[in-house]
Amino acid sequence: MWTWFYKLASPPSVYRTATALTPWFMTVALIAIACGLIGGLGFAPPDYQQGDAFRIIYVHVPSAYMSLFCYSAMAVAGAIGLIWRIKMSYALAAATAPIGASFTALALVTGSLWGKPMWGTYWAWDPRLTSELILLFLYAGVMSLRPAFEDPARGDRAAALLSIVGFVNVPIIHFSVQWWNSLHQGSTIAKIGKPSMPGSMLWPLLTMLLGFTCFYAAVVCMRLRGEVLNRERQSAWVREAVKS
């Protein structure tokens, strides 16, 4: 049974699967995002407290969600690579990292744009945004560690170990930042909270979540193809694939 799995995880098979799946994921992603944006920007009623400013949650919340999802995926892929020594797992972790970091940056930017109408300033050390910022630093650590090793295999293993350590720390960081914020928070600054959600507000959000997830899947497949080709560049099948 395991031979089937190892065959699936072999580089040529991963390459073929990724190539095949990319257009499907991308199509679903684009449709979902389009629907979500139309629903969220057009159809959803303005929030009675925040007016039209809240609409940025249609980009902010899915980004924040994806930033955590990608970090978890990266840590799990790293763990699989370390425990079962599957090299393609490391390729997946390497492919996911920059995507996750980009989602984190997007969450930070959209969060601070949201903050301007709410707080009057672009950055007010809101606990959720501060946690996102620390998450960005965690991504930076993993992404800097991998290329620092001369032997890419050791770099993969070190980055995998670091992403697992970071993963364990994410809930701790989140909790500690909330705690810190509850000490220092003045009553004038409101946290970025989701507005109360009638159905017409909710479905575009869920659609955007689906769209972002499929977008991630599509992009990771594209990056994965590149990673696989790079890592396996010495092998015969790659030379064949590049020739054709």
Partner 1 sequence: MSTADLEPQVSALRAMTLIVGRELRLSFRRPEQVLQPLVFFLIVTTLFPLGLSLQLSLLRDMAPGVLWVAALLSSLLSLDALFKGDADDGTLDQLALSGQSLTAIVLAKTASHWLVSGAALVLVSPLVGIALGIPWGVFPTMLGSLALGTLCLSWLGAIGAGLTVGLKRGNVLVSLVVLPLAMPLLIFGAGATDRAAAGISPAGALYLLGSLCVFTCTLAPFAVAAALRITLEG
Partner 2 sequence: MDSAPQGLTIEKIHVWRGDRHVLRGVSLILQPGELMQVTGPNGTGKTTLLRVACGLLRPEQGSVAWCGRPIAGVRPQFHSALAYAAHEPALKGDLTALENLRYLVGLKRPVRTAELEAALERTGVAPCAQLPVRVLSAGQRRRVALARVLAMRSPLWMLDEPFTNLDSAGSALVTDLLREHVSAAGMALVVAHHDIALSARLRRLELQ
Residues lying near partner 2 in the complex (CB under 8 A) are found at 150-153, 233-234
Min dist CB 75 to partner 1, Å, is 13
Which residue, 157 or 174, is less far from partner 2 as judged by CB?
Answer: 157
* Nearest alpha-carbon partner for 55 in 75, 69, 38, 41: 41
Min dist CB 85 to partner 2, Å, is 9
Q: Which of 177, 217, 220, 238 binds partner 1 (CB under 8 A)?
A: 177
Residues 122-161 that bind partner 1 (CB under 8 A): 134, 137-138, 140-141, 144-145, 148-151, 154, 157-158, 161
194 contacts which partner out of partner 2, partner 1, none, CB within 5 to 8 A by kind? Answer: none
152 contacts which partner out of partner 1, partner 2, none, CB within 5 to 8 A by kind? Answer: partner 2
Min dist CB 50 to partner 1, Å, is 29
165 contacts which partner out of partner 2, partner 1, none, CB within 5 to 8 A by kind? Answer: partner 1
Tokens of 82: 């370390």
What is the contact surface with partner 1 in residues (CB under 8 A)? 82, 134, 137-138, 140-141, 144-145, 148-151, 154, 157-158, 161-162, 164-166, 168-169, 172-173, 175-177, 179-180, 183
